[in-house]
Every structure is written in structure tokens, then in C-alpha cells.
């Protein structure tokens, strides 16, 4: 006998479940998890006085999107770093702006970014903060019930913006933040050395040791830009992935954003070690970085998921945009059959959850009830629903969002936060940051 569910979705057309045909079923949720999915149990399923029945007739139920590479502290900087290459983008805009953050401006930036993510159907994300004030990112996520894995950016090689720390300070402060937030409710910590040009070998090696001793993921950037790849070779004598492997930063607990300019040997290392790749197509295009060889990576067995990256290099935190580009970009080169819609949708849901190590990403019994409700009539068309999600729909179709069985978006609004207040906080925070940065 199934437990009496406090939440019962009736008549939903489910995507990314056990049935590839997206059949109409009922979905029962008890606590934070899905307890049953089926076409027969609903009429006889025991319901109690507290059971909430949600009629989803004509609507689609999906696992919430999982964005596996985000920079919430950069949300305030949208529009302030357009039309720049990666290294100039960092040195002349992003690092000076990040250096000018205070605790409350980081909170305002994270709150603004999480609002955008939730309204677009994202229920979980992997985030890299900046060097300071990372607690404020976790505070914002905890307030609204967002599922977040995050870590402070670790940088011990000095740069023009003064955004670095001594090696020991960086490691000890990251470990202290992890001890406060890791596995606190829906929150997890990921150690986040920024990228090889910002991190000494000592920092990278010790970060891997400490992260693994605390059961945390390791999140960094790799091989995003040709100039960055040349810089890494000049510093280390090796390519990015080769250097990271040499230092022990490979494996299923290591998540590498971008991996655009990777050699055949580096792809082999990624596949053999199970290292995760985080694909950010919009950001890669806007920064002029290139197009990652995602079909080749997948064909070789590399695990790939999707993310929007930061607001100043995208400039949206919209998984619908990433889905569409992820599916379209390989087609001119490899054929229209490359990256079918169902595969792209899996990268945005199941693969993202796998990368983060959370039992979500599918609408199946036992999975977390991180769920997204879409109204397909926003842009009506016939055909397979996964194609509609990937190629046609956008965030306007999002009607409800649930995280851990708790409704966090209803009627186009984030529960718990007033949007006008969120924007007012962001505007005031940005004025302070820009004044300090002189930008």
C-alpha cells in the first residue's frame, strides 16, 4: 500500500520519465520525493485530508532543469561586459566588479539570479561565487528553497584587480564555508578553484585533497578560450586537462566548465576518468570562445550537462536558450540528425542531476520532487513534446515549479520574494559596486 501523498498531480503528460512516449499519468509526491508514477493507481490511491490534488490536464510535467554552471554573483553585471574576449572580459570588467562586491550586493545578485532561474524552470544549479562573501549566496538560496551547490572562487595567483588570496587563506576559508553549508537542507558545497591561470599547483593539489576529505565536488573552468589554452601551456608545459590530470583533478567528482579546445588525448582522459563536462553554448558564442565538440565528447563516453554561465557573458540564465543552441549548433557540421531533442533535454535534466550527485532529473518513483509544469499552448504545435521544449517553447510556458515537493513558483511569481523588492535591492547594490569599481 502506498502512503497517503500530500501532493497528487493528475493527468500530466510526463517527459523524461520511464516512458519515452510521454504518456498521460498521475504522479504522487510524499515528503520531498516522488513515490509513484502510473496510470492505474490514482483512482484507488489513498488520500488524506491534507492531500493537495493538482489537475495538470493538458499540461506537461518535467523534472526541473539543472544548470550545471552558473555565476550568481555576476547577475548584477548583466550588460556591463559585452563584446569582449574571455581574458579581457575577466581582467577589465568581471574581476574589478567582483572585487567591489560587499556582502549585501552578493546577496542581491544571487537573489536576482535565483529568481530568474526559478521562473525559467531551473530547480537546481552548480554555482561558482567570487573570492569573498560566499555565505550570502547560500543565504539567498536557503531563503527561497532553491537547490544549490556552490563554492567560493579560489584564486592565489595575483591579478590586476587584486582578486586573489594567499594559498592557505583560500583553502582554509573554503573549508570553513563548506563546514557551515555542505548538506544543510538543499544546499551542498563544491570547492571551486577558478581556472588554471588563477591557481598555483599547490592550491589545486590541496583543494582536491580537502574537497575529497569533506565529500565535496570540485568545480573549475577548462579550455574555454584559445588564448587561455596558450597561457596554460606557457605556465605548465601542458594542456589544461593534461595539467589537471597530472595534479589529480580528474574523476566523477570533478566538473569542468566549457572544454571547447580539447585535444584527442584530453578527450580520452575525460572519458577514462569519468570527469564531467559542463557545456555553456550561449556563453561560448558571445565571448567568441568557440563551439565545444559535444557530439564527439558524448560519442567517446564523456558525461555532458548544460549551464548558462554568468549573466554578463550570456546574457540570460535561461535553460530554454541553452537547450535550443545545444541541439542546433552541431547540426551544420555533422548533420540534422545530430543531437536530437530528446538527448538535449536529457543533458538539461538527468545529466545535470547526475553531475551534481542529486537523485533528481527524472519523473520516476524515488526521485526528488523537483518538478516543472509547462503549458504547451503558449506556443502551440503538434509533434513530440521533447521537440517542442527544445526548439519552440521558452520560459513563458513555465506555470509552476516545485523543489523537494514544495511549490516555489506559482502564477509566474516566486513564492517568498517580491520581484519589485528584488529589483530595488539589485539596483541599489549595483550602484555601490560600480562606484567602487569605477565602471
Instruction: Tell me the pLDDT tens digit for each residue of 112-156.
Output: 999 999 999 999 999 999 999 999 999 999 999 999 999 999 999
72 pLDDT above the threshold of 70: yes
Instruction: Indicate the DSSP class of residue 6.
Output: S
How many Å separate Cα 70 from the centre of its chain?
5
Q: What pLDDT, on a 0 to 100 scale, did the predictor assign at position 45?
A: 60
Q: What pLDDT, on a 0 to 100 scale, did the predictor assign at position 1?
A: 40
Q: What pLDDT, on a 0 to 100 scale, did the predictor assign at position 46?
A: 59
Residue 216 phi/psi, 5-degree rounding, is: -110, 155
345-354 pLDDT per residue, tens: 999 999 999 9
44 pLDDT above the threshold of 70: no
DSSP string of 384-399, one letter each residue: -HHHHHHHT--GGGEE
- Boundaries of every domain in the chain: 7-63+367-412, 65-356
Neighbours of 213 (CB within 10 A): 9
- Provide mean pLDDT across the span 59-72: 98
Instruction: Indicate the DSSP class of residue 76.
Output: G
Provide the sign of the torsion angle of the four alpha carbons 199, 205, 206, 211, taken in this order: positive
Instruction: Indicate the DSSP class of residue 18.
Output: S
Q: Which residue has the higher pLDDT, 48 or 305?
A: 305
Find out whether 59 and 374 touch, Cβ atoms under 8 Å.
yes
From first CA to last CA, the distance across the chain in angstroms is 62
Report whether the peptide linkage leading into residue 376 is cis, meaning its omega lies within 30 degrees of zero.
Answer: no
CATH number for region 7-63+367-412: 2.30.40.10
Task: State whether CATH 3.20.20.140 applies to domain 65-356.
Answer: yes
Least Cα distance to 41 among 14, 66, 84, 8 occurs for 8
What is the value of pTM for the model shown? Answer: 0.96
Q: What pLDDT, on a 0 to 100 scale, did the predictor assign at position 230?
A: 97
Q: At what angle do helices 167-181 and 201-213 cross, to 10 degrees?
A: 20
Region of 204 please: left (phi>0), alpha (psi -120 to 50) or beta. alpha
How many Å separate Cα 368 from the centre of its chain?
17
Residue 14 phi/psi, 5-degree rounding, is: -95, 135
Amino acid at each position: 500500500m502506498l502512503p497517503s501523498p500530500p501532493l497528487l498531480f493528475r493527468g500530466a503528460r510526463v517527459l523524461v520519465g520511464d516512458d519515452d512516449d510521454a504518456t498521460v499519468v498521475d504522479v504522487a509526491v510524499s515528503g520531498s520525493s516522488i513515490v509513484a508514477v502510473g496510470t492505474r493507481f490514482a483512482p484507488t490511491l489513498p488520500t488524506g485530508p491534507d492531500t493537495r490534488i493538482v489537475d495538470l490536464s493538458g499540461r506537461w510535467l518535467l523534472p526541473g532543469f539543472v544548470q550545471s554552471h552558473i555565476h550568481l554573483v555576476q547577475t548584477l553585471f548583466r550588460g556591463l561586459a559585452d563584446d569582449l574576449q574571455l581574458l579581457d572580459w575577466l581582467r577589465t570588467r568581471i574581476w574589478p566588479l567582483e572585487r567591489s562586491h560587499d556582502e549585501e550586493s552578493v546577496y542581491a545578485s544571487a537573489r536576482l539570479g535565483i529568481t530568474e532561474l526559478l521562473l525559467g524552470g531551473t530547480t537546481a544549479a552548480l554555482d561558482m561565487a567570487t573570492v569573498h562573501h560566499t555565505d550570502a549566496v547560500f543565504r539567498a538560496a536557503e531563503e527561497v528553497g532553491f537547490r544549490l551547490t556552490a563554492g567560493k572562487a579560489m584564486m592565489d595567483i595575483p591579478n590586476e584587480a587584486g582578486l586573489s588570496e594567499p594559498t592557505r587563506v583560500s583553502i582554509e576559508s573554503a573549508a570553513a564555508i563548506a563546514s557551515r553549508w555542505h548538506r544543510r537542507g538543499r544546499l551542498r558545497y563544491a570547492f571551486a578553484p577558478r581556472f588554471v591561470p588563477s591557481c598555483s599547483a599547490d592550491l589545486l593539489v590541496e583543494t582536491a585533497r580537502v574537497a575529497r576529505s569533506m565529500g565535496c565536488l570540485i568545480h573549475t573552468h577548462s579550455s574555454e578560450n584559445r588564448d587561455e589554452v596558450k597561457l596554460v601551456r606557457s605556465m605548465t608545459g601542458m594542456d589544461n586537462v593534461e595539467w589537471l590530470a597530472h595534479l589529480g583533478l580528474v574523476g566523477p567528482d570533478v566538473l569542468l566548465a566549457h572544454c571547447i579546445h580539447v585535444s584527442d588525448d584530453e578527450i580520452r582522459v575525460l572519458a577514462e576518468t569519468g570527469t564531467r563536462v559542463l557545456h555553456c553554448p550561449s556563453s561560448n558564442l558571445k565571448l567568441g570562445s568557440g563551439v565545444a565538440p559535444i557530439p564527439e565528447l558524448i560519442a567517446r563516453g564523456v558525461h555532458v550537462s548544460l549551464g548558462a554561465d554568468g549573466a554578463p557573458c550570456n546574457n540570460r540564465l535561461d535553460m530554454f536558450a541553452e537547450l535550443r543552441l545545444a541541439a542546433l549548433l552541431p547540426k551544420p557540421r555533422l548533420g540534422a540528425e545530430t543531437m536530437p531533442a530528446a538527448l538535449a533535454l536529457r543533458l538539461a535534466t538527468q545529466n545535470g542531476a547526475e553531475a551534481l550527485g542529486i537523485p533528481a532529473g527524472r519523473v520516476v518513483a524515488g526521485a526528488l520532487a523537483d518538478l516543472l509544469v509547462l503549458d504547451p499552448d503558449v506556443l502551440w504545435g503538434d509533434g513530440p513534446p521533447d521537440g517542442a521544449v527544445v526548439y519552440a517553447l521558452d520560459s513563458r510556458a513555465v506555470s509552476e515549479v516545485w523543489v523537494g515537493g514544495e511549490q516555489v513558483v506559482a502564477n509566474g511569481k516566486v513564492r517568498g520574494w517580491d520581484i519589485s523588492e528584488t529589483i530595488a535591492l539589485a539596483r541599489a547594490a549595483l550602484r555601490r559596486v560600480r562606484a567602487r569599481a569605477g565602471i
